[in-house]
Every structure is written in C-alpha cells, then in structure tokens.
C-alpha cells in the first residue's frame, strides 16, 4: 500500500520545511509514504527546500492556480502508482499527524474519498472570520442541495483519495478544485466520508492565494459549481432557468389579464403581453436546450467511463511491470 502526500505550494519557504518534516513516514496499513510538492510558480526557495527534505517536486514555470496545481499533482501521483493520495496545505493549518484519521475510511473499505471536516464536530470548529465561516457553510449547503447528500465542509483542502477516486477525476478549473471534486465524485456515486479534525482557522505564514479576497473567491467558486452542475445535470440546470423565465412570462400575462378584467381593455399595457410571450418563448427554448444537453450528457458519461477504464488499465499494466523490472535489475 503506497501513500502519496501531495502539497501545493506557492512561496511557502517559511513553513514548508517544518511541514514536510512533520509528515509521518510510517503509518499502520501503509507500506510506503512518498511526499509530492507541486511548486506553482514560486519565486522563493520553496522548491529547493522541498527537494532537500526528500520530496518529489513538480514545478510550474508560472503561477497557474490551485486547481491546476492539484491536477498536476494528481497526474504525478498516478504516475507514482499511489494507492492513496492525501492532499494537505503547506501553510501549517493542518496537522500531518491527523493523516491516519483521514485515510482510515479508505483503508477500511468504507469510502473512496475522505475529507477532513472543520465543522462536523461542533467542539472542533476553529476560530475564523464570520464572513469566511458563513461562506463555508453556504457552499456546503449548496453542494449538498445539488448532490442530494449531506456535507458539512466542502472547502477543506485536507483530503484523501483512493486510486479509484483519483482515476475518476476529470477536472477543468484552474482557480480551485475543492468543490468540483465533491460534485464530480458525488455524481459518480463514489462513497464519500467526512471525518472531524482540529485545524487552525488561520494560516501560520502568508496569505491564502485562493480566499484572500472573499468576494472574488465566492464569485469564482460559484462559477465553478454552476459549470459542474450544468455539465453533469444539464436537464435540471436548464429546467430551473426555464422555470424562472416561464414564471416571469406568466406573471406578465396575469398582470395583463387583471388589467383586462378591471378596465375591459388592454391599453396602455399591451407591452405586458409581448413581454409575457417573449419570456414564455425563451423559457421553452431554454428547456429544449436542456433536453438536447441531457442527450449529449450521455456521450460525456460514456467518455468519462471509457477514460476511467483506460486509466485503470494503464495503472494495472504499471503494477504488473514492477515485478518484472525488479527481476531484470542487476
């Protein structure tokens, strides 16, 4: 059983050495622990210090975003034949000694995706600004309503993925990845667990490069959630828009009807009839777009399944070649 601990980093020289040293190298149920640092365009000694501590380093020539860093790390972890991938930040918010708690449901066969939850246990809720706390709660409720599952924390970066979960991920966002992962794996019916952990509510060093501007973070995150929902549940997505447009159209027509009943004529409110008809027509058109998109979604789903099977086959081939390579080695 091989565990790869992936750490995205951007100018984290003040903390990365200490965090890397604190990662346990011997864990129950795990044969090998390998640390992977994704240097997302750092201009300091982050990559150099990570290599000195024995980590495998993947470097971006320029800053591409947390989502892009996660994808690069995911690809490298798959190449390294990770049976379990753990993601943890390099800023000191999370305690690496909690890794056994996070990977336990995967080792026990209870889940393929596990996230540390800051809010599952009320006694462990960290101190944080009220706006950040409200935003985390809102995102969790929104993702829960979309997936029809119950989650308390969908934004935490301390997570564990089985090989099966890693192979199923096909992510597109560069800004962040946390919510897209939840939606993708939940829609694929991958077993998901939350485990309560105690974390720091603020970074030990520097500023968050994702949530430093809460308005910008909320806007970009909402965009990612909506796009993922559109891609995986197109009929529901477009039906909701169609319902809003149709509701507006009916509202205008009901207003026109009330004018007719009160005055016996339509003047000077004929515009309401045109507006109502336009909104109803737009609603019908959007609904038809949803029907077509739902048909195309079958092609996307088939493509995702084919990609998963290809990745799984490639992984199995690498596993089979390992013993042969060791026998050929002098």
Count of structural domains, the chain? 2
Closest to 56 measured CA to CA, from 74, 76, 72? 76
Q: What is the DSSP string of 81-149?
A: T-SEEEE--SSS-S-GGGHHHHHHHHHTTS-SEEEEESSSSGGGPPP--HHHHHHHHHHHHHHHHHHTS
Within this chain, do residues 117 and 205 fall inside the same structural domain, yes or no? yes
pLDDT at 326: 43
Asked if 212 and 239 sit in the same domain, the reply is no
Indicate whether 149 and 187 sit together in one domain: yes
Cα(133)–Cα(35) distance, integer angstroms: 30
Domain boundary among 216, 231, 246: 231
Predicted local confidence at residue 93, as pLDDT: 83
Asked whether the beta carbons of 176 and 209 are under 8 A apart, the reply is no
Burial level of 7, CB count in 10 A (0-12/13-18/19+)? buried
Q: What is the pTM of this model?
A: 0.84
Spans in the chain with pLDDT lower than 50: 325-330
Q: Examine the domain organization and report whether 116 and 258 are in the same domain.
A: no
Structure tokens at 280: 């109803």
249 and 226 within one domain: no
User: Within this chain, do residues 164 and 294 fall inside the same structural domain, yes or no?
Assistant: no
Answer for the pair 86, 5: CB distance below 8 angstroms, yes or no.
Answer: yes
Q: Quote the pLDDT of residue 239.
A: 97
- Confidence (pLDDT) at 233: 94
For residue 330, the model assigns a pLDDT of 34
Domain of residue 179, CATH code: 3.90.550.10
pLDDT digits (tens, 9 = 90+) for 35-49: 999 999 999 999 999
Q: DSSP string covering 238-276, please?
A: HHHHHHHHHHHHHHHHHHHHHHHHHHSS-TT-HHHHHHH
pLDDT of residue 147: 94
Do 85 and 164 belong to one domain? yes
Written as six digits, the tokens of 15 are: 């903390």
Based on the fold, state whether residues 14 and 140 are members of the same structural domain. Answer: yes
Containing structural domain, residue 119: 2-231
Q: Which residues does residue 159 pair with via DSSP β-bridges, in sequence order?
A: 87, 115
Among the candidates 201, 231, 261, a domain finishes at 231
Q: What is the pLDDT of residues 182-239, one digit of tens each?
A: 999 999 999 999 999 988 755 555 555 555 567 788 888 899 999 999 999 999 999 9
Q: Which of 151, 298, 328 is nearest to 234 (CA)?
A: 298
Q: Are residues 143 and 129 in the same domain?
A: yes
d(CA 8, CA 315): 24
pLDDT of residue 204: 56
Q: Identify the sign of the CA torsion 274, 277, 280, 282.
A: negative
List Cα–Cα distances, 56 to 34, 36, 177, in angstroms.
8, 5, 22
Q: Is 1 helix (H, G, I), strand (E, B) or coil?
A: coil
Q: Are residues 252 and 302 in the same domain?
A: yes
Half-sphere exposure of 280 (CA within 13 A, CB side): 12
Other beta carbons within 10 Å of 320? 9
Shared domain check, 220 and 114? yes
Do 224 and 287 fall within a single domain? Answer: no
Q: Distance between CA 13 and CA 63 in Å, rounded?
A: 16
Give the separation between CA 256 and CA 248, rounded to whole angstroms. 13
> Which of 180, 210, 231 is where one domain is finished?
231
């Amino acid at each position: 059983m091989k565990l790869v601990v992936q750490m995205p980093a951007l100018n984290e020289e003040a903390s990365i050495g200490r965090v890397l040293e604190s990662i346990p190298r011997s864990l129950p149920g795990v044969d090998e622990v390998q640390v992977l640092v994704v240097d997302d365009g750092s201009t300091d000694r982050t990559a150099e210090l990570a290599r000195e501590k024995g980590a495998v380093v993947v470097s971006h020539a320029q800053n591409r975003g947390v989502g892009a860093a996660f994808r690069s790390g995911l690809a490298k972890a798959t190449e390294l034949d990770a049976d379990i991938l753990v993601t943890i930040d390099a800023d000191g918010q999370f305690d690496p000694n909690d890794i056994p708690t996070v990977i336990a449901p995967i080792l026990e066969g209870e889940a393929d995706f596990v996230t540390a939850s800051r809010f599952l246990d009320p006694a462990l809720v960290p101190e944080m600004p009220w706006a950040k706390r409200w935003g985390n709660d809102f995102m969790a409720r929104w993702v829960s309503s979309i997936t029809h599952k119950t989650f308390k924390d969908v934004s935490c970066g301390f997570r564990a993925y089985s090989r099966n979960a890693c192979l199923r991920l096909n992510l597109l966002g560069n800004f962040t990845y946390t919510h897209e992962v939840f939606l993708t794996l939940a829609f694929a019916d991958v077993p998901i667990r939350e485990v309560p952990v105690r974390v720091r509510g603020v970074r030990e060093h520097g500023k968050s490069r994702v949530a430093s501007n809460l308005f910008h973070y909320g806007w970009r995150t909402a965009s990612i959630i909506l796009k993922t929902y559109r891609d995986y549940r197109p009929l529901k997505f477009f039906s909701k828009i169609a319902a809003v447009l149709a509701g507006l159209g009916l509202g205008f027509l009901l207003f026109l009807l009330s004018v007719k009943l009160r005055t016996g004529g339509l003047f000077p409110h004929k515009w309401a009839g045109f507006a109502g008809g336009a909104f109803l027509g737009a609603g019908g058109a959007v609904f038809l777009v949803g029907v077509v998109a739902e048909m195309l979604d079958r092609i996307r789903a088939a493509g995702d399944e084919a990609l998963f099977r290809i990745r799984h086959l490639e992984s199995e081939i690498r596993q089979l070649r390992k013993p042969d390579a060791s026998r050929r080695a002098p």
